[in-house]
Structure 1
């Protein structure tokens, strides 16, 4: 027996080939009887009957002999009728009839009428929705339909406007507890795109999709649709905060333009003296770009390799973020990422957390090294409070500008299938916890509303920065006591994460499973363990100790013996290799979890990596760096190192934009990940340079000028030649991770 949908599909298909086809009264009776048998609602039947008999209908016209003639619809292409599958039309009809919201139901009926009449706008809405899943058994869990086709529907028919609304429903399959423990793959959810009338709210769409699935797969699924999952074109909603942020940007833009013109004038006419001149050109685009791209360091401490370490580490950190977002977003093959992470050759990217530890190490090392110089110079009489205040002033303005962007214009700069869900969520989190970010306590406070997934580092670095003077001063003033205190703190820092890991039977480190990192803020390990300061102390303490050791070596002009250099490099290479590649073990199918192993690894791998970093810096600073030391001092790394802080701040924008605007799932291979990751890194540094030129570099220039007027800088020119404090000040923990 033909279903009602089959009948309409056949009628529609034949009409595309023959402009005049008649339907006898007996056939119409059979069609009507079939509809009753299938339980199609009376309201739908009455509308169909009206369309088939009304003289005003564009679809059917009555003839004098009592037959019904179906006319082809000129606006529909010939192939469009074949799109309307019979089972889909039947399930859609029943689902629309069950919608409770009257406005949504009425537009749903108009949509069905449009399908029956082969109207292009209705066919576009149907065509834009995801159909029968392809590659479901292959692991394809994102069926995104056609976003732009859906939201592009905007027609007026008989005085009624029909607009398309794109909704991405989450379909949750019911599985046993054993299946839920699997960490690989993409989970037990399916993202399904539907194009519905704009009058339908999320609850109506949720019920609609549930009813459609109930007819096809039964009631074994649960459908979730939130307001953030739906998008329709509408005017941009601008509030006072949006206007305030835009005004701030325009204000700084005007200052940059004015000061740039002033600098051009001063260069031409030679008027380049005085404090007012220095403050004005601090905002000039020409001046700031020249500072950023300059390859001069003028460093007498032998720390030129720091720029290379920072630049390379930041490049791989950003690449790691890109890989995580690519892998956790829409992909065609859910197993592809799992195959990549099982390959030991890719362990360096999986050890991305070690590179973050490297920045904590460098921050502590530079602060320790420069503060010890100042203590020697001032014989221990040093007021630490200005150091802490200056550090806060240096880091916070650019950071706060990015937070404001998250709170205001981030959701308004694009559209896409995942845009509303991800961008609105980020905006809500930043509106709820921006104050925790600028107080640098967001890794402990309001962690459920983490604003900027990467911002945890700034909180950790700031908190440890405020504690660092205690250990640095102890090492300088009470050498033995300071060493004992630092050693005890190192042991405590090793014990804390080990105990937490053993008692909670936790992972040995943050494991990059795509299924678990679709949203960093909801990952329990990341939120409750990874970003906590008490689990990150080891690298910082080792950095302070390394700064003290190098200070003594350079102060006493200590020469390394050949045996010591061989031992140092051998130990460093072995520890670096083991810590980098050992993480691959935890991704293998054959690995069985052991709490003791995890507890030992979580502490020792960071400690070993710190030893590797310590020797590398000491060797390079004392002229024993060899080929690696020469590589790290290449001038190309200097400008990149200056941009690390701002690049780190804006990286979340690049990654979220990529994910939000993605129209189709990505096929993951090593090449596609490498290509996408490279583009993300380049875009991040480009955006970071804009932020640096507009905010970070100008404020840094003003700060130097003011400090020089008030008093000698706390961490100043003592370590550099030619009176230039730019390089050293950028290498203190201020400019950070400079991030």
Structure 2
């Protein structure tokens, strides 16, 4: 698009300037990030048509050409809040060439899994037949709920995958040079790091802080008016400790001081992003050093997690999965493995350009090993008794093994060996749902709490009650998340694209 723009500038003085101007308008239309119709975004309707009478001495009129309207920065920023445009962006059934489409399906499945687990945890707390929980937890398939922590590992894995893959592709195209403005060495690396960090902060914070404010107000109201006590002290913690959420450091403090306890994932993922950004910037010119740093941190995470599990006698097969929430579950140094594995896979796909030749034997073995690993992690500990050493090893390595099994799925699907699995995970119908997953994650625990705390009597647990509650929360979470995404997330993303150095150079 930039080449078309430059050609239009260089030849502006030629006799065929009207034709070139029309070509330029087409090129510029492609640079507008809001999917506004051409008649509205570039051409001001029939009134903008002009007649060129420069050749009246020849007795003929030149064909009419449209007048091109260049948006100012302020106008483009205003258009970022267009509801119609943002809805079209979210509901678009296409993805860019630099996107790994498989992650959309993994994201939707994982989000449904997260909502299922949180629905069970909350309804169990507000039920009148707690003995039913003991019966249900002994069933084989309930391990899907007990081991729901792996759904979060899927998100960590995808986060590292996309950050690494998109960074190396963007850097290879030279687009990151717009941030460095000709600088080199430490200064250039610092500018890249700041650019990555600022984009992340602006991208996440607006919907995050909005939902945090809603949580604070609603939980304070329910604390005074509901027949039940809120499950956590958000009515107290949010007014006092909201700044920890704003800085994404709330997992570095005790869990009993945490506002929006489910926001631990957002904090950890952001902290991983900061570490990953340092490694990626370093890898641009010092790949071996970056590899050594990442390997060291990964090994340290495994050893630290195993040690904490061992000294606390943590037994993954029987303990409540949240039993060591403040020591293992939410701490970044114990959950780092899947993110780094995702970063490694992202680099691998970049280097191979998603083109790998594999034999049928390799494909079959890969799918068998991946499936066996995933199923073993989910259901392999059913009624199993582990020794303290084996339990510590499982706590330390299981999350990374889950990410390794997912690595095969992503690699196979991205290189043409996914078959029906890729068709399902990359189905265009999932793209809109995937795009609002972040807001759905922020919002769904609040929906669950509102459902429970508006009751005047406890839940009576049963499989149909749980099923109906889960489906209701799932649908309502995504409906409201769509509204929040259109109002906050999509406008911010569009404005960041407008203000990016690459964009500014194209329209100056």
User: What TM-score do the two structures reach when normalised by structure 1?
Assistant: 0.55
Whether the aligned pair in 2 keeps the contact of 1:311 and 1:637 (CA below 8 Å) is: yes
Tell which deviates more after alignment, 667-676 or 602-611.
667-676
Q: 2:296 aligns with which of 488, 497, 510?
A: 488
Return the alpha-carbon distance in structure 1 between the equivalents of residues 240 and 454 of structure 2: 25
Unaligned stretches of 5+ residues in structure 1: 1-261, 514-522, 586-590, 714-722, 724-739
Deviation at 1:671, TM superposition (A): 2.3
Q: 2:490 aligns with which of 688, 692, 697?
A: 697
Q: What SS class does the counterpart of residue 296 from structure 1 fall into?
A: coil
Return the alpha-carbon distance in structure 2 between the equivalents of residues 401 and 470 of structure 1: 29
Return the alpha-carbon distance in structure 2 between the equivalents of residues 284 and 462 of structure 1: 28
The reply on whether 1:390 has 2:183 as its aligned counterpart is no
Aligned to 1:168: none
Q: What SS class does the counterpart of residue 95 from structure 2 fall into?
A: coil
Instruction: Determine which structure has the larger helix proportion and give its number.
Output: 2
Listed as ranges, the matches of 1:304-703 within 5 Å are 304-331=101-128, 333-378=129-174, 383-412=192-221, 417-419=226-228, 421-422=229-230, 425-445=233-253, 447-508=255-316, 511-512=319-320, 525-554=324-353, 557-585=355-383, 592=385, 594-703=387-496
Listed as ranges, the matches of 1:262-341 within 5 Å are 270=45, 274-275=71-72, 276-300=74-98, 303-331=100-128, 333-341=129-137
1:718-739: CA deviation from partner (whole Å, max 9, x where unpaired): xxxxx9xxxxxxxxxxxxxxxx
Q: Which has the higher contact order (CA 8 A, sep 6+)?
A: 2
Deviation at 1:307, TM superposition (A): 0.8
Q: What SS class does the counterpart of residue 636 from structure 1 fall into?
A: helix
Instruction: Determine which structure has the larger strand proportion and give its number.
Output: 1
Return the alpha-carbon distance in structure 1 between the equivalents of residues 130 and 379 of structure 2: 24
Deviation at 1:357, TM superposition (A): 0.7
1:275-315: CA deviation from partner (whole Å, max 9, x where unpaired): 444322211222222222221213255x1111111111111
Aligned to 2:60: none
C-alpha spacing 1:374/1:289, structure 2 compared with 1 (3 Å): closer
Deviation at 1:410, TM superposition (A): 4.5
C-alpha spacing 1:424/1:373, structure 2 compared with 1 (3 Å): closer
Return the alpha-carbon distance in structure 1 between the equivalents of residues 125 and 212 of structure 2: 24
Whether the aligned pair in 1 keeps the contact of 2:314 and 2:391 (CA below 8 Å) is: yes
Q: What SS class does the counterpart of residue 115 from structure 2 fall into?
A: helix
Return the alpha-carbon distance in structure 2 between the equivalents of residues 684 and 546 of structure 1: 31
Deviation at 1:693, TM superposition (A): 1.6
Whether the aligned pair in 1 keeps the contact of 2:301 and 2:333 (CA below 8 Å) is: yes
C-alpha spacing 1:304/1:694, structure 2 compared with 1 (3 Å): same
C-alpha spacing 1:404/1:579, structure 2 compared with 1 (3 Å): same
Q: What SS class does the counterpart of residue 252 from structure 2 fall into?
A: coil
Return the alpha-carbon distance in structure 2 between the equivalents of residues 313 and 510 of structure 1: 23
Return the alpha-carbon distance in structure 2 between the equivalents of residues 510 and 541 of structure 1: 28
Whether the aligned pair in 2 keeps the contact of 1:361 and 1:543 (CA below 8 Å) is: yes
Return the alpha-carbon distance in structure 2 between the equivalents of residues 294 and 475 of structure 1: 34
Whether the aligned pair in 1 keeps the contact of 2:113 and 2:148 (CA below 8 Å) is: yes
Listed as ranges, the matches of 1:64-103 within 5 Å are none
Q: What SS class does the counterpart of residue 87 from structure 2 fall into?
A: helix
Whether the aligned pair in 2 keeps the contact of 1:397 and 1:696 (CA below 8 Å) is: yes
Return the alpha-carbon distance in structure 1 between the equivalents of residues 227 and 351 of structure 2: 55
Return the alpha-carbon distance in structure 2 between the equivalents of residues 491 and 450 of structure 1: 28
User: What TM-score do the two structures reach when normalised by structure 2?
Assistant: 0.78
Return the alpha-carbon distance in structure 2 between the equivalents of residues 535 and 712 of structure 1: 42
C-alpha spacing 1:454/1:343, structure 2 compared with 1 (3 Å): same
Return the alpha-carbon distance in structure 1 between the equivalents of residues 481 and 137 of structure 2: 29
